[in-house]
């Protein structure tokens, strides 16, 4: 025990850090303040192991338990005055802003390579020729707008709960986004591409749907940004505002994903291209997984969470 400045007794904690796989003791911290956060402990651990900076560290109370959050406080955890944490190395990390910049800048420029029909893509006979179909140019504009919007949101709108992600994940994600961008761009901008079956009516309907979904997606991202305008990382329940695009919050927990899927469905209708449809379907499956995870987190954390909401598709899913 030690006496604090206000003459009250303060019980300090001892923290033992073991390797999650080998159970070998890596570090023993003495006289850790009870109000220390997990992030504080990571910083102390980093002094002993400079190669493991805080962003690549994760601590668990049990080797198979959940990762502790950086903001969790030592004295509120189910531990005694001698706490045992299990350390896991998350590997090299990269900032989320850099992740999204890499993921979204790639498709933007890759698509344009196909749109301008560079010689090494379609051959010299069709090099630098423009498509006779106006929908091809419109598709290029919409695709470019979508990823330009994403890049803008990454820089000016998004707030990230976690500062970093594993470096290996960015490689996987870039392969996914860049690969699909090249595949669908190849067919949409191909010299033999045929326009949609129902002509301008189909294209105009899809364009209207696309613009609505893009505006809705942006509106949701702004609303989510405003929830953390005070800099807090605490989770809050989002509610609709006067903006009609946010009213989808009455029915679903993650309308940003709903609008995102809507944008790609409209792009599929506009181009009538199978690779776009496949990209949309895979994206819908992934976003459904994310939406369900967030939906059930809301339900578990907030007892008065609106019961009418479903994760991504109103009334269904």
CATH number of 28's domain? 3.10.20.90
> What per-residue confidence (pLDDT) applies to 163?
66
> What per-residue confidence (pLDDT) applies to 30?
87
List Cβ neighbours of 152 (8 Å cut-off, separation of 6 or more).
none
- For residue 24, being part of any structural domain is answered with yes
> What per-residue confidence (pLDDT) applies to 124?
79
Q: Are residues 296 and 202 in the same domain?
A: yes
> What per-residue confidence (pLDDT) applies to 87?
95
- For residue 271, being part of any structural domain is answered with yes
Which residue shows structure tokens 């698509």? Answer: 111
Q: Are residues 83 and 118 in the same domain?
A: no
Percent of the chain residues past pLDDT 70, beyond the cut: 94
Range of the domain at 70: 11-91
- pLDDT > 80? residue 129: yes
Q: Are residues 256 and 201 in the same domain?
A: yes
> What per-residue confidence (pLDDT) applies to 232?
66
Q: Are residues 38 and 123 in the same domain?
A: no
pLDDT tens for 231-246 read 666 788 999 999 999 9
- For residue 2, being part of any structural domain is answered with no
Mean pLDDT of 95-111: 88
- Which stretch of 89-93, 228-232, 308-312 has the lowest confidence by average pLDDT? 228-232
- pLDDT > 90? residue 3: no
- For residue 43, being part of any structural domain is answered with yes
Read off the tokens for 279. Answer: 């990209």
Q: Are residues 107 and 173 in the same domain?
A: yes
Query: 3-state DSSP: the chain helix, strand, coil percent, rounded to 5?
Result: 55, 15, 35
> What per-residue confidence (pLDDT) applies to 162?
61
| Residues 295 and 305 sit within 8 Å (Cβ to Cβ) | no
Query: Pick the residue with more confidence: 266 or 31?
Result: 266
- pLDDT > 60? residue 2: no
Mean pLDDT of 75-94: 88
> What per-residue confidence (pLDDT) applies to 304?
92
Mean pLDDT of 292-304: 94
**SS3 (DSSP) at 189:** coil
Q: What angle do CA 95, 97, 100 make, to 5 degrees?
A: 110
> What per-residue confidence (pLDDT) applies to 28?
93
Question: Count of domains in the chain?
Answer: 2
Query: Pick the residue with more confidence: 164 or 7?
Result: 164
pLDDT tens for 54-80 read 888 899 998 888 899 888 899 899 888
Q: Are residues 243 and 146 in the same domain?
A: yes
The H or E element containing residue 31 is: strand 25-32
Q: Are residues 120 and 226 in the same domain?
A: yes
Percent of the chain residues past pLDDT 90, beyond the cut: 66
- For residue 51, being part of any structural domain is answered with yes
Looking at 73, 91, 109, the residue that finishes a domain is 91
> What per-residue confidence (pLDDT) applies to 49?
92
- Sign of the Cα torsion 162, 104, 254, 169 reads negative
Which residue shows structure tokens 């695709």? Answer: 143
Q: Are residues 61 and 162 in the same domain?
A: no
The 10 Å Cβ neighbour count of residue 307 is 6
pLDDT tens for 251-265 read 999 999 999 999 999
> What per-residue confidence (pLDDT) applies to 238?
94
- pLDDT > 90? residue 95: no
Q: Are residues 193 and 57 in the same domain?
A: no
- For residue 310, being part of any structural domain is answered with no
- For residue 307, being part of any structural domain is answered with no
Query: Pick the residue with more confidence: 203 or 101?
Result: 203
- pLDDT > 60? residue 1: no
pLDDT tens for 143-165 read 999 999 999 998 888 776 666 77
Looking at 26, 59, 91, the residue that finishes a domain is 91
Q: How confident is the model at residue 169 (pLDDT cuts 50, 70, 90)?
A: confident
Looking at every residue in the chain, the average pLDDT score rounds to 90
Q: Are residues 124 and 85 in the same domain?
A: no
Q: Are residues 251 and 106 in the same domain?
A: yes
- For residue 234, being part of any structural domain is answered with yes
Q: Are residues 64 and 184 in the same domain?
A: no
């Amino acid at each position: 025990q030690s006496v604090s400045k206000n003459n009250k007794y303060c019980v300090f904690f001892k923290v033992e850090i073991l390797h999650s796989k080998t159970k070998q003791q890596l570090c023993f911290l003495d006289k850790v303040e009870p109000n220390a956060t997990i992030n504080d402990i990571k910083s102390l651990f980093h002094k002993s192991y400079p190669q493991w900076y805080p962003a690549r560290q994760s601590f668990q109370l049990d080797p198979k338990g959940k990762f502790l959050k950086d903001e969790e406080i030592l004295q509120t955890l189910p531990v005694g005055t001698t706490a045992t944490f299990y350390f896991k190395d998350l590997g090299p990390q990269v900032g989320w802003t850099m992740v999204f910049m890499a993921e979204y800048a790639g498709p933007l420029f890759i698509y344009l390579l196909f749109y301008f029909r560079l010689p090494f893509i379609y051959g010299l006979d069709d090099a630098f020729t423009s498509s006779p179909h106006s929908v091809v140019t419109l598709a290029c504009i919409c695709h470019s707008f979508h990823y330009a919007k994403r890049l803008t949101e990454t820089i000016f709108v998004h707030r990230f709960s976690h500062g970093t992600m594993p470096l290996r994940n960015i490689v996987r994600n870039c392969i996914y986004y860049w690969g699909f961008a090249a595949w669908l761009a190849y067919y949409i901008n191909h010299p033999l591409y045929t326009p949609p079956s129902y002509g301008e009516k189909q294209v105009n309907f899809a364009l209207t749907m696309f613009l609505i979904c893009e505006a809705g997606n942006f509106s949701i991202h702004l609303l989510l940004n405003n929830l953390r305008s005070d800099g807090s990382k605490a989770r809050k329940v989002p509610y609709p505002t006067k903006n009609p695009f946010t009213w989808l919050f009455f029915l679903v927990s993650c309308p940003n994903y709903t609008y995102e899927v809507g944008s790609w469905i409209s792009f599929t209708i506009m181009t009538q291209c199978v690779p776009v449809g496949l990209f949309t379907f895979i994206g819908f499956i992934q976003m459904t997984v994310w939406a369900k995870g967030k939906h059930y987190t809301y339900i578990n954390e907030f007892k008065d969470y609106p019961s009418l909401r479903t994760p991504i598709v109103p009334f269904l899913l």
